[in-house]
Structure 1
Amino acid sequence: MVDDTGKQAAARVAGRMRVPDDGYPTAPVERIASLNPAQRAAVGFGIEAQRGGEQRHPPLLVIAGAGSGKTSTLAHRVAQLIDCGAEPTRLLLLTFSRRAADEMSRRVGRLLGRRAAGTPPLPWAGTFHGIAARLLREYAARIGIDPAFSIHDRQDSADLLNLARHGLGFSARAKRFPLKGTCLAIYSAVLNTQVALGEVLQTSFPWCAEWQAELKSLFREYVRSKQAQQVLDYDDLLLYWAQMVGEGELGREIGGRFSHVLVDEYQDTNRLQAAILLGMKPDGNGLTVVGDDAQSIYAFRGATVRNILDFPQHFEPPAQVLTLDRNYRSTQPILDAANRVIALAQERFTKDLWSERRTGEKPWLVAVRDEADQATYVVEQVLARREAGLRLKSQAVLFRTAQHSVRIEIELRRRNIPFVKFGGLRFLEAAHVKDVLAILRWGQNPRDRMAGFRAMQLVAGIGPKSASRVLDHIASAAPACLLLDEQPVAEAARPAWREFAALVADCGPARTPWPTACERVCRWYQEQIDRLHEDPLPRQADIEQLALIAATYPNAERFLTELTLDPPAASSDEAGPPLLDEDYLILSTIHSAKGQEWTAVFVLNAVDGCIPSDMATGSTAALEEERRLLYVAMTRARTHLELILPQRFHVTQQPAHGDRHVHAARTRFIPHALLPDYEQLSWPPPAFVVAPANPHARQQVFDLTARMRAMWE
């Protein structure tokens, strides 16, 4: 609800509006005419008295619901500040991507009536990390660092951490010590969440908890190495900035450089970023943050919803809270369903999204038998909507984690339907899946040097040199004389090598029947996965899926051939689109879909164990984030929303072609009381066959109930 203060501010600003002779509005009248009352209140709050000198500008929190025009509102507020006398060089605008900062600057320029070439600069618009790097170079001499410091990316940081790891002898321990990637993830989590190392280990990395003392000494050596080499890593940029503004006099000096600090997507900030803002503006003067607590879904990156929930109480008097609740994206039936899902949250800023698109179909809850039927149903619906005139690009399939799209991807490939996947690699591009396929390929063809080189390095104690030496021996040996377990490897690695050699031999032609050979490889790899990867749990699920898929093929050759006929197009978190002029379906994790919208949206696996994830049921905070994740997925849809509910999931630890399965319940976030918000259907529709009545047939009557009783007499 918009308060009277905001309405009065908007009205006073509106009274000073004018249009210049060149036709481009430089005063607010034309600019804010298209905004709704809540947006105008947010644009004008606290800045009506700025002309005539520095004034106090109370802290402002704008709760911007999904599809409510958040970006436009923030750009209008920046333009309004400049129009009312604020110097662009004294405005600090913080976003989460450089593209967002550039787009905001362009919008502000257009709103102020300057053509692109004459757009007033916003020199301090950028990401938290980009602005941090600039400030640290300016103040380097005063905080004890070299202004010519280098910045390491994640790979550089992991390599430097690995050097410290080797130097301290941790890589030579009898028990496996966490790999460099895991160590860096732990280090980053401690800094960004501002939580003690022991607590981070217990909650997020329990398999590393026994190494707490060693990790602490490793991080101490890592910091010493960075300082000796005058380098900062990605996390250091925020850490140094927070420490710098935490020094009273220096913090006031840096905060005083900016009359206004404006932050986009505040719900995605971590504790370090919140500390930076409070260090620069401890009284909140000139501080505006925009976000939506209902869309806080990045805890795995260190973000915390507490930042936005607690923001008003950091100041005295509390910060003003204004709400944008008009949605310009979805139909009202979709918003009604989403509103009622998020209304069950334990703590939130109250808002109910509404739309002028009052009519439309309710969201669908579609029950299917299993994941195979889910894939078939979704693909058929996508094609049906395409035939009805809705382009593939206007449709999206969303899922909780990347492996949930495996069946969909295979079905799309089978039907030759182009698609782009956002959020995680395509299934067949993931490193752990490629590892398993490399073992299978090498077992099928020992002369496949690339497969062998990758597969051998999965064995503890086997590195590139040992792998190359073994491959050279194999290349020079006669086929009948190849004895893999007798190849030259280090003595310490020989027990693990012999186990691996037997595994590879069993994958050969005419050895272990298919798909038992694949199941054995998958089991072996799952035993190694903690050692090989820092995030083993989601990768375990991918390997289980691979075993299920393998069981649907008659032999290894067919399986490997069909999975490699269409090689991956890219190896980044965006799988890469087909040709730019080609239509293609969107596949996306819900995390990657945030900020996007499509006419039709399908949400896969809307069942307990998937949404919420079974790994998130251990704490209330994690469950609440899962609720927000479903809300984000639902509010991506403009017109059509379908939530798919597979009724059973096959168990992978079973003999080939088994039918062990578990039944799944509808997500707990849509309890029975909310079902009137949805259309419910089952697919495929049940087919009842009724035999024609035959009045001349003699019908026998059997008293089976008496027979059952007689068994126990």
Structure 2
Amino acid sequence: MSQFFERKKQELGVQLNKIQRKAVERTEGPLLLLACPGSGKTTTMIMRIGYLIEEKGISPQRIKAITFSKASANDMLERYKRFFPLLQPIDFSTIHSLAFQITRDYFSGSRYVMIEGNETNGLHKKKLLREMYRTENDEPITDDQLEELMSFISYVKNKMLPRQQWAKLKEPFPGAIEILKTYEAFKENYDVRLVDFDDMLSLAYEALDKDKNLLAKYQGRWDYIMTDESQDTSLIQHAIVEKLVAHHQNLCVVADDDQSIYTWRAAEPTYLLKFRTVYPNAYIMKMERNYRSSQNIVQTANQFIKTNKKRHDKSMFTKQPEGDPIILKRLSSEDAQFKYVLKELKELSDYGDIAILYRNNSSSTLLMSELERLGIPFYMKDSDNRFFSHWIVEDMLNFMRFSLKPERIDIYSKIASKTNAYWSSSQLKMLSRMKPTSENAFDDINLTITLKDYQIKILNEQKKWFAALNGMKPLKVIRTIRGEMGYDQMLASRAEKFGMKMTYLAQIFTTLEQIAEPLESMTAFAKRLKQLEQVTQQAKKEKTDDMLTLSTFHSSKGLEFERVYMIDLVEGVIPTEEDAEAPDLVEEARRLFYVGMTRAKTHLELISHGNESRFVEEVRKLIVPEKRLVTSQSNIVKTPINVTVPDNPNAIHSEEVLREGVFVRHRVFGAGEIVERDHERISIQFAKERKELMIDICISYRLLEIIN
């Protein structure tokens, strides 16, 4: 071991393994460092920077580190300061920050306007896209569609797709390509250059490609460049880095293709597979030892991800203890799932090292509601307040408001098109301009607007229904609006027209109905929604050491917890219906599942309900044979004498006896109750812990007997 490593071991207590040291010492030329979860990649990168400065005498100003996010850049800088407090800081930044520097230099002397980041600007990206959508479709864009449109535009830019290919792209909804063309033309033909965040990347690449003096300036600024989380880097971001290192090629790329989960943001995981095509002299190293998780978790996750074909061949391993077995729970319903998770949490006293992970933020709303009710402290890694402002939620509240105040024709005008009255656009315009003159809006409508006979009949029915809603509980109100008042029919038609995902819209209703179920009045329902919105906002702001963490799989990357509960593991959620249509998307969904699994240190539970995710089934197939194999080997291979099963005349000989609610005695663990079973396993709650046992092993080895 060199003096540098020995010195750091004494100063910091940091001891690198052989592969980590090798990665630190290989400073010249292109290096692809494939780092499995929990393999100490950040420590290795920081040590590599220190090695360059202390051992090779490189000036900190000649080193550049590029990260995926601002949070990662700040984290690496703080860790660098702790490791090397006497050294001058190096330049840590995101690729967007670097692109902004280059673009600013490129535009030196020319005027341009940023239209993203400052929403008070009149020329803001979101505002422009809203106006363009309304012009294209003659109706306002929803928040979900706006997010999809912005992601689509970002995808096109980051993929460096030429305009002649745009027409072949799959649109997030009809008309998205036309809006993209209109948006780009508007920016180009405006009085000054209009620039959004993605334009900065395009312009930075354009600058380095066309301005030789600017290229030389940036190529000469740094002698060593490192990029972190490079599996999440887009084609144009890779292209910018290629320009910067073309002269010296001293590039260290740290990545894990098994954790590439942002291809919808145009990330290019396949770039890592062809790394030697771009850099023929590249050296590829694999950091495969996991320091985070137990053997059970590491071995299962390692085998699970090997199902993917488009990946570097890696074999993650650990020297950690075996740990708890991975627990698989398949429950009858979403409600049963929440009850199970909450029951588990109530039995714990310390929540600071526990996480509940899910694919979609919609999963968190009900969970948050129950946690708040039970007084369990929690932090939301990425709360999504769009649920509370979603147009479906607003519609339900407006239906309720109008039922309570039937004279409010302004409220009815907001929901009229969401009913089954077949309003024409001209009628809706007249409706929006009307002022109330009586105690019931329907009376005003009959006097003011010319209606078809069938519309008069429908409106008379609506008048009765709105009057009836006033005496109903909120759950019944919602179901009446959906059924008798034609809302679900409208929703299906709208989803088909605008390419919306019905599974997502259905989830919103599931959440609304479960919030409404225990409440007695529509006023209480509206109040509860407002309260939950405030709780969500607060949960995003505060984080203390005793708080449970709620997070999507995406946002959990880079984090670790002692106990992890992965919930809503069902087909249609992970993978989604869209994922299931393409092998590449299935592989990404599997990577996302893998990211969730590898957040856990010692305790991992995979929880499903209804139509269980194929990924849970893949894990089950890995776990069950492994248990049988271990039992077989431990009793036959490793034991030098034949195993004799103790004679127990009272032992259970038939699996039919093993039913939920039956009390049994285990030869080793004592008395317990069977709380769950499937065709292969039983779960027994003993005095201090719950055990998952294989039925055939319990019977073969006469481990159980009935307690009368």
Q: TM-score range by the shorter chain?
A: 0.7 to 0.9
Deviation at 1:559, TM superposition (A): 7.0
Deviation at 1:376, TM superposition (A): 0.7
Aligned residue for 1:483? 443
Given that 1:606 and 1:645 are in contact with CA atoms closer than 8 Å, whether structure 2 keeps it comes out as: yes
Deviation at 1:670, TM superposition (A): 2.6
- Structure 1 residues 587 and 303 mapped into 2: Cα distance closer, same or farther (>3 Å)? same
Once residues 515 and 299 of structure 2 are traced to their aligned partners in structure 1, the CA distance between those partners, rounded to angstroms, is 42
Deviations 1:380-437 (A, max 9, x none): 1112133xxxx12221111112223454344434434343333352685252343233
Q: Secondary structure at the match of 1:326?
A: coil
- Structure 1 residues 88 and 689 mapped into 2: Cα distance closer, same or farther (>3 Å)? closer
Aligned residue for 1:444? 403
1:156-555 alignment, distance < 5 Å:
156-162=124-130, 170=136, 172=138, 183-195=149-161, 204-205=170-171, 207-208=173-174, 212=177, 214-215=178-179, 217-225=181-189, 228-247=191-210, 249=212, 250-282=214-246, 285-317=249-281, 319-386=282-349, 391-425=350-384, 429-446=388-405, 452=411, 455-456=414-415, 470=434, 473-474=435-436, 477-480=437-440, 483=443, 485=445, 506-510=465-469, 514-515=476-477, 516-520=479-483, 522-523=487-488, 526-527=491-492, 530=495, 536=501, 539-546=504-511, 548-549=513-514, 552=517
Once residues 50 and 413 of structure 2 are traced to their aligned partners in structure 1, the CA distance between those partners, rounded to angstroms, is 55
Once residues 229 and 496 of structure 1 are traced to their aligned partners in structure 2, the CA distance between those partners, rounded to angstroms, is 51
Instruction: Name structure 1 gaps, 5 residues minimum.
Output: 1-10, 20-24, 47-56, 650-662, 691-713
Given that 1:201 and 1:208 are in contact with CA atoms closer than 8 Å, whether structure 2 keeps it comes out as: no
Deviation at 1:363, TM superposition (A): 0.7
Deviation at 1:351, TM superposition (A): 2.5
Q: Give 1:541's aligned amino acid.
A: A
Deviation at 1:195, TM superposition (A): 3.7
Q: Secondary structure at the match of 2:581?
A: coil
Once residues 519 and 541 of structure 1 are traced to their aligned partners in structure 2, the CA distance between those partners, rounded to angstroms, is 11
2:31 to 60, 70, 83: 60
Given that 2:5 and 2:15 are in contact with CA atoms closer than 8 Å, whether structure 1 keeps it comes out as: no
Aligned residue for 1:655? none
Query: Could you tell which deviates more after superposition, 73-82 or 448-457?
Result: 448-457
- Structure 1 residues 677 and 557 mapped into 2: Cα distance closer, same or farther (>3 Å)? farther
Aligned residue for 2:25? 44
- Structure 1 residues 191 and 485 mapped into 2: Cα distance closer, same or farther (>3 Å)? farther
Deviation at 1:307, TM superposition (A): 2.4
1:586 to 542, 549, 568: 549
Q: Give 1:292's aligned amino acid.
A: D
Deviation at 1:461, TM superposition (A): 6.4
Once residues 284 and 483 of structure 1 are traced to their aligned partners in structure 2, the CA distance between those partners, rounded to angstroms, is 80
Once residues 239 and 512 of structure 1 are traced to their aligned partners in structure 2, the CA distance between those partners, rounded to angstroms, is 59
Deviation at 1:607, TM superposition (A): 3.6
1:135 to 94, 99, 102: 102
Q: Secondary structure at the match of 2:347?
A: helix
TM-score by length of 1: 0.75
Q: Give 2:401's aligned amino acid.
A: W
Once residues 361 and 103 of structure 2 are traced to their aligned partners in structure 1, the CA distance between those partners, rounded to angstroms, is 37
- Structure 1 residues 130 and 550 mapped into 2: Cα distance closer, same or farther (>3 Å)? closer
- Structure 1 residues 547 and 402 mapped into 2: Cα distance closer, same or farther (>3 Å)? same
Q: Secondary structure at the match of 1:246?
A: helix
Aligned residue for 1:672? 621
- Structure 1 residues 265 and 152 mapped into 2: Cα distance closer, same or farther (>3 Å)? same
Aligned residue for 1:631? 594
- Structure 1 residues 531 and 626 mapped into 2: Cα distance closer, same or farther (>3 Å)? closer
Aligned residue for 2:45? 74
Deviations 1:364-383 (A, max 9, x none): 11222221111111111112
Deviations 1:472-512 (A, max 9, x none): x34xx4425663645989x99xx999989976873444579
Given that 1:263 and 1:290 are in contact with CA atoms closer than 8 Å, whether structure 2 keeps it comes out as: yes
Once residues 128 and 453 of structure 1 are traced to their aligned partners in structure 2, the CA distance between those partners, rounded to angstroms, is 49
Q: CA RMSD in A?
A: 4.4
Once residues 417 and 463 of structure 1 are traced to their aligned partners in structure 2, the CA distance between those partners, rounded to angstroms, is 51
Q: Give 2:202's aligned amino acid.
A: L
Deviation at 1:450, TM superposition (A): 13
Deviation at 1:107, TM superposition (A): 2.8
Deviation at 1:321, TM superposition (A): 1.2
Once residues 410 and 440 of structure 2 are traced to their aligned partners in structure 1, the CA distance between those partners, rounded to angstroms, is 20
Given that 1:484 and 1:501 are in contact with CA atoms closer than 8 Å, whether structure 2 keeps it comes out as: no
Query: Could you tell which deviates more after superposition, 330-339 or 604-613?
Result: 604-613
Q: Give 1:564's aligned amino acid.
A: L
Aligned residue for 2:584? 621
Once residues 196 and 460 of structure 2 are traced to their aligned partners in structure 1, the CA distance between those partners, rounded to angstroms, is 41
Once residues 503 and 196 of structure 1 are traced to their aligned partners in structure 2, the CA distance between those partners, rounded to angstroms, is 52
Q: Secondary structure at the match of 1:357?
A: coil
- Structure 1 residues 193 and 485 mapped into 2: Cα distance closer, same or farther (>3 Å)? farther
Deviation at 1:575, TM superposition (A): 4.5
Instruction: Name structure 2 gaps, 5 residues minimum.
Output: 419-423, 629-657, 665-708
- Structure 1 residues 538 and 43 mapped into 2: Cα distance closer, same or farther (>3 Å)? farther
Q: Give 2:331's aligned amino acid.
A: V
Deviation at 1:36, TM superposition (A): 1.9
Deviations 1:70-103 (A, max 9, x none): 1111111122222222222222211123232233
1:568 to 530, 533, 540: 533
Once residues 228 and 304 of structure 2 are traced to their aligned partners in structure 1, the CA distance between those partners, rounded to angstroms, is 25
Query: Could you tell which deviates more after superposition, 617-626 or 419-428?
Result: 419-428
Deviation at 1:238, TM superposition (A): 0.6
Once residues 634 and 16 of structure 1 are traced to their aligned partners in structure 2, the CA distance between those partners, rounded to angstroms, is 35
**Are 1:687 and 2:661 matched, yes or no?**
yes
Q: Secondary structure at the match of 2:246?
A: coil
Given that 1:436 and 1:525 are in contact with CA atoms closer than 8 Å, whether structure 2 keeps it comes out as: no
Once residues 496 and 403 of structure 1 are traced to their aligned partners in structure 2, the CA distance between those partners, rounded to angstroms, is 36
Aligned residue for 1:85? 57
Query: Could you tell which deviates more after superposition, 519-528 or 630-639?
Result: 519-528
- Structure 1 residues 671 and 450 mapped into 2: Cα distance closer, same or farther (>3 Å)? farther
- Structure 1 residues 633 and 184 mapped into 2: Cα distance closer, same or farther (>3 Å)? closer
Once residues 118 and 458 of structure 2 are traced to their aligned partners in structure 1, the CA distance between those partners, rounded to angstroms, is 34
Once residues 522 and 422 of structure 1 are traced to their aligned partners in structure 2, the CA distance between those partners, rounded to angstroms, is 34
What is the aligned length?
617
Deviation at 1:593, TM superposition (A): 0.9
Deviation at 1:585, TM superposition (A): 2.5
Aligned residue for 1:608? 571
Once residues 39 and 446 of structure 1 are traced to their aligned partners in structure 2, the CA distance between those partners, rounded to angstroms, is 69
- Structure 1 residues 457 and 291 mapped into 2: Cα distance closer, same or farther (>3 Å)? farther
Q: Give 1:305's aligned amino acid.
A: P
Deviations 1:100-138 (A, max 9, x none): 223323333333341xxxx5132x321111111112222
Given that 2:173 and 2:499 are in contact with CA atoms closer than 8 Å, whether structure 1 keeps it comes out as: no
Q: Give 2:234's aligned amino acid.
A: N
Query: Could you tell which deviates more after superposition, 128-137 or 512-521?
Result: 512-521
Given that 1:65 and 1:353 are in contact with CA atoms closer than 8 Å, whether structure 2 keeps it comes out as: yes
Given that 1:152 and 1:234 are in contact with CA atoms closer than 8 Å, whether structure 2 keeps it comes out as: yes
Aligned residue for 2:84? 112
Deviation at 1:189, TM superposition (A): 1.9
